[in-house]
Amino acid sequence: MTESGIKMNTTKTRLGLTACLLTAILATACASAPEQKTAAPAPAAAPAPLKDEALAKAVKTALDADADIARFDLKVSGKGEDVTIEGATDTGVQMAQAGMIAEKVPGVRYVMNNIQPRD
């Protein structure tokens, strides 16, 4: 083989080795690329807050579900997350009970208990 033939083979070998090395580097880089994360599913939306009249109606329904309180036919009004209860009961315990029932209704933040006990 001539000297130019040896140089040509050496050049081809170097090019081949360089191509193999480049392929290995690219394959490694692609394999170690950070994994693309998909977005987490959106959390379920909280139920919409009840409007004034709907919140007052929900509280009135809760009060009427208690046999001891329902007989007083208390009036309920709402504004935002606040409700006002008005009317009269026989005792202070019944007044307090009505307030506690209203506080447990979902969507109620504050109860203005204007009930007047007769005792």
Q: What is the pLDDT of residue 86?
A: 98
Q: What is the pLDDT of residue 2?
A: 58
How many folded domains does the chain comprise?
2
Residue 112, domain member (yes or no) = yes
Residue 98 burial by Cβ neighbours in a 10 Å radius (0-12, 13-18, 19+): buried
pLDDT digit string, tens, across residues 27-79: 666 665 556 666 666 666 666 667 899 999 999 999 999 999 999 999 999 99
pLDDT at 4 over 60: no
Q: What is the pLDDT of residue 30?
A: 60
Q: What is the pLDDT of residue 14?
A: 66
Residue 34, domain member (yes or no) = no
Q: Are residues 61 and 96 in the same domain?
A: yes
CA distance linking residue 70 with residue 65, whole number of Å? 7
Model confidence pTM above 0.85: no
Nearest CA to 93 out of 77, 113, 73 is that of 113
Q: Are residues 11 and 67 in the same domain?
A: no
Q: Are residues 21 and 58 in the same domain?
A: no
Residue 43, domain member (yes or no) = no
Residue 104, domain member (yes or no) = yes
Q: Are residues 14 and 67 in the same domain?
A: no
pLDDT range class, residue 12, cuts 50, 70, 90: low
Q: Are residues 17 and 62 in the same domain?
A: no
Range of the domain at 75: 52-117
How many degrees, rounded to 5, is the angle at CA 33 between CA 25 and CA 42? 170
Q: Are residues 21 and 70 in the same domain?
A: no
CATH code assigned at 94: 3.30.300.130
